């Protein structure tokens, strides 16, 4: 989660284990990138698992504005399901992939293969574990921050999964109270300063190493669990849980093809707070290299090195911290939603009178209050004045009419094409507000974000490794939406709604 492609170029020489194995023995697509607008978590995971973009699979953002209900709608929230907690109680709304409009790879595998796959997904985040699972899973599991424990949903199971329950009981997270995240590498190995301008740190940490996992109360509490999630310890825990899944469910060791998907979330949490040029990001990747190496070794022992195929990619990248970009001489900054709304409301006064005519800015999608857009569309001059007013805000690059994006997925205009690939009628906003590079909407003064159509958000690693994969470096066009079609081809199924392609150049010829 939030793994920029240039991290491989910058830090790959320091890796010695799992990530190094991917670079040396796998198929490495060095120019891999997304092409849509909303570079964010739920979207990226949906892209990966369906092999398609939001205009096809329907997940346009982590959440979007529900015009009828006048509230934000989370990508996986499902009031018809209940959360199943491994602490023993069920509470609150569960999750499901009901809003995913395209079949996920495990859905297609379950439909088409003669032996149903066993499907396991693991993450710290509910929406990543849910989307990677598709409609059903044998074990979709995530960390529930509110309950401070692991959870699943009745969309997948009515009761806790035995192997997950056993693993959690044998490996309580609170054993790591007072553990310390210290630097793994020699001090001279770190590329940037340890306390960069604009670093947020975390609520319980300064922006300088070391980072203790220290509770506020003396026992495991919210502060401890927040620190744990933002540390290499959470990645290592997920990998060990994956090993337990392989062993308990005999993944890859019986007849048929199984599916295991892990979303490592710590990099996203750390990246938002400390930024991509931080010691924390560099160090977390060094830890992840070792964590993946141990996981791959376990797969080799339990499944066999020639009996699995592995894909590694990311859902999105991240922007530099604006203050650091400005210090390097670039135009960069944080944008205020209130400023944008004021400009739009002012432009609407001659047509609609004074008032609050904007309902919501959800990432780059702007939604008007009910009835406003219908009135505006009847007055092209008023529409143009509103769009010009929004575009006049410093830091805004483009303002697009959402209703003109349909059919624009092949546009030669890169920004318009990205917006079109992200557009779905009924879910998308009325206008699309596109910030300039290195600008984003933010209510804070530190940290960074993602969600743009620019390279720092769009370019991510893409590696394939294992049976049937031809190792090497590939410089042609590729995208994470190509992963599901490629894996589908390898296991003999088709993807009904894929926008991606089979990465045939990296496949061994059939024997």
d(CA 95, CA 89) in angstroms, rounded, equals 16
pLDDT of 207 > 70? The answer is: yes
Percent of the chain whose pLDDT exceeds 90:
93
Instruction: Please tell me whether residues 220 and 107 are part of one structural domain.
Output: yes
Structural domain harbouring 423: 333-441
Instruction: Please tell me whether residues 137 and 161 are part of one structural domain.
Output: yes
Q: Establish whether the linkage from the previous residue to 63 is cis, with ω within 30° of 0.
A: no
Residue 211 near residue 269, CB atoms below 8 Å: no
CB burial class (10 A; 0-12, 13-18, 19+) of residue 183? middle
Between 427 and 204, name the one with better pLDDT. 427
1 inside domain: no
The DSSP symbol for 65 reads E
pLDDT of 89 > 70? The answer is: no
Of 381-390, 400-409, 416-425, the range with the lowest mean pLDDT is 400-409
Average pLDDT, stretch 24-31? 98
pLDDT of 92 > 80? The answer is: no
Instruction: Please tell me whether residues 164 and 70 are part of one structural domain.
Output: yes
pLDDT of 320 > 70? The answer is: yes
171 inside domain: yes
- DSSP states of 76-116 as a string? SEEEEEEEEETTS-EEEEEE-STT--S--HHHHHHHHSSSP
Residue 198 phi, psi dihedral angles, 5° rounding:
85, 0
Instruction: Please tell me whether residues 345 and 266 are part of one structural domain.
Output: no
User: Given 407, 441, 475, which residue is the final one in a domain?
Assistant: 441
pLDDT tier at 91 (50, 70, 90 boundaries)? low
CA-to-CA dists, residue 172 to 14, 91, 148, 176, 267, angstroms = 31, 21, 11, 8, 22
The CATH number given to whatever domain includes residue 350 is 3.30.1360.150
User: Given 408, 441, 474, which residue is the final one in a domain?
Assistant: 441
239 inside domain: yes
pLDDT of 308 > 90? The answer is: yes
The pLDDT value given to residue 200: 86
CA-to-CA dists, residue 94 to 42, 142, 265, 269, 484, angstroms = 16, 12, 20, 23, 26
Instruction: Please tell me whether residues 285 and 340 are part of one structural domain.
Output: no
The pLDDT value given to residue 143: 97
The pLDDT value given to residue 41: 99
Task: Report the chain's C-alpha Rg in angstroms.
Answer: 23
Between 150 and 408, name the one with better pLDDT. 150
pLDDT tier at 88 (50, 70, 90 boundaries)? low
Instruction: Please tell me whether residues 312 and 344 are part of one structural domain.
Output: no
Tens digit of each residue's pLDDT (9 = 90 or more) over 124-176: 999 999 999 999 999 999 999 888 899 999 999 999 999 999 999 999 999 99
The pLDDT value given to residue 1: 99
Tens digit of each residue's pLDDT (9 = 90 or more) over 472-500: 999 999 999 999 999 999 999 999 999 99
Average pLDDT, stretch 64-76? 97
Instruction: Please tell me whether residues 338 and 308 are part of one structural domain.
Output: no
The pLDDT value given to residue 104: 99
31 inside domain: yes
The pLDDT value given to residue 4: 99
511 inside domain: no
In this structure, is the dihedral angle defined by the CA atoms of residues 111, 113, 118 and 120, taken in order, positive or negative?
A: negative
Instruction: Please tell me whether residues 362 and 422 are part of one structural domain.
Output: yes
pLDDT tier at 408 (50, 70, 90 boundaries)? confident
The pLDDT value given to residue 90: 61
Residue 465 phi, psi dihedral angles, 5° rounding:
-150, 140
CB burial class (10 A; 0-12, 13-18, 19+) of residue 339? middle
Residue 141 near residue 152, CB atoms below 8 Å: yes
CB burial class (10 A; 0-12, 13-18, 19+) of residue 247? middle
The pLDDT value given to residue 93: 83
The DSSP symbol for 224 reads H
Average pLDDT, stretch 58-82? 97
Instruction: Please tell me whether residues 486 and 399 are part of one structural domain.
Output: no
Instruction: Please tell me whether residues 121 and 254 are part of one structural domain.
Output: yes
Instruction: Please tell me whether residues 309 and 345 are part of one structural domain.
Output: no
Average pLDDT, stretch 384-393? 98
pLDDT of 201 > 90? The answer is: no
81 inside domain: yes
The pLDDT value given to residue 203: 66
The DSSP symbol for 509 reads P
- Total domains in the fold of the chain: 2
User: Given 384, 410, 441, which residue is the final one in a domain?
Assistant: 441
pLDDT of 306 > 70? The answer is: yes
The CATH number given to whatever domain includes residue 115 is 3.40.720.10
Instruction: Please tell me whether residues 431 and 485 are part of one structural domain.
Output: no
- DSSP states of 157-175 as a string? -SS--HHHHHHHHHS-GGG
pTM above threshold 0.95: yes
Establish how many alpha carbons lie within 13 A of residue 413's alpha carbon, considering only the half-sphere containing its beta carbon: 9
Between 443 and 241, name the one with better pLDDT. 241
Angle at 362 between CA 128 and CA 364, to 5 degrees: 100
327 inside domain: no
402 inside domain: yes
């Amino acid at each position: 989660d939030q793994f920029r492609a240039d991290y491989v170029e910058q830090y790959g020489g320091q890796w010695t284990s799992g990530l190094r194995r991917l670079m040396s023995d796998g198929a490495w697509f060095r120019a891999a990138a997304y092409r849509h607008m909303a570079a964010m978590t739920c979207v990226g995971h949906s892209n990966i698992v369906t092999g398609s973009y939001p205009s096809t699979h329907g997940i346009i953002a982590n959440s979007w504005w529900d015009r009828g209900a006048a509230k934000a709608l989370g990508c996986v929230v499902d009031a018809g399901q209940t959360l199943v907690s491994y602490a023993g109680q069920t509470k609150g709304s569960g999750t499901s992939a009901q809003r995913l409009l395209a079949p996920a790879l495990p859905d297609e595998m379950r439909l088409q293969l003669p032996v149903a796959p066993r499907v396991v997904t693991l993450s710290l985040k509910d929406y990543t574990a849910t989307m990677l699972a598709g409609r059903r899973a044998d074990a979709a599991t995530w960390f529930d921050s509110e309950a401070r424990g692991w959870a699943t949903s009745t969309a997948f199971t009515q009761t806790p999964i035995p192997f997950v329950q056993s693993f959690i009981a044998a490996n309580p997270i609170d054993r790591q109270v007072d553990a310390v995240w210290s630097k793994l590498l020699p001090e001279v190995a770190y590329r940037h300063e340890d306390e960069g301008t604009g670093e947020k740190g975390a609520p319980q940490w300064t922006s300088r190493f070391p980072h203790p996992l220290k509770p506020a109360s003396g026992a495991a509490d919210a502060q401890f669990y927040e620190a744990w999630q933002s540390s290499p310890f959470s990645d290592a825990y997920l990998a060990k849980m994956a090993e337990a899944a392989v062993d308990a469910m005999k993944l890859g060791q019986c007849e048929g093809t199984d599916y295991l998907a892990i979303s490592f979330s710590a990099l996203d949490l750390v990246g938002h707070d400390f930024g991509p040029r931080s010691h924390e990001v560099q160090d977390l990747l060094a830890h992840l290299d070792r964590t993946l190496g141990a996981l791959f070794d376990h797969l080799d022992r339990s499944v066999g090195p020639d009996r699995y195929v592995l894909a590694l990619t990311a859902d999105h990248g991240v922007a530099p911290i604006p203050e650091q970009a400005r210090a390097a001489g670039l135009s960069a900054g944080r944008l205020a939603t209130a400023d944008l709304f004021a400009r739009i409301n002012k432009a609407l006064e001659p047509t609609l009178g004074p008032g609050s005519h904007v309902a919501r800015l959800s990432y780059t999608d702007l939604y008007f209050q009910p009835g406003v857009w219908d009135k505006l569309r009847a007055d092209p001059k008023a529409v143009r004045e509103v769009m010009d007013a929004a575009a006049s805000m410093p830091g805004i690059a483009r303002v697009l009419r959402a209703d003109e994006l349909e059919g624009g997925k092949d546009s030669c205009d890169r920004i318009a094409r990205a917006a079109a690939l992200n557009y779905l009628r009924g879910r998308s906003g009325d206008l699309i507000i596109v910030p300039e590079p290195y600008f984003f909407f933010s209510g804070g003064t530190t940290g960074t974000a993602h969600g743009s159509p620019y390279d720092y958000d769009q370019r991510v690693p893409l590696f394939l490794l294992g049976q049937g994969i031809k190792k090497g470096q590939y410089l042609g066009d590729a995208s994470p939406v190509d992963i599901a079609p490629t894996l589908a081809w390898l296991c003999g199924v088709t993807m009904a709604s894929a926008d991606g392609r089979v990465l045939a150049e990296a496949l061994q010829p059939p024997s």
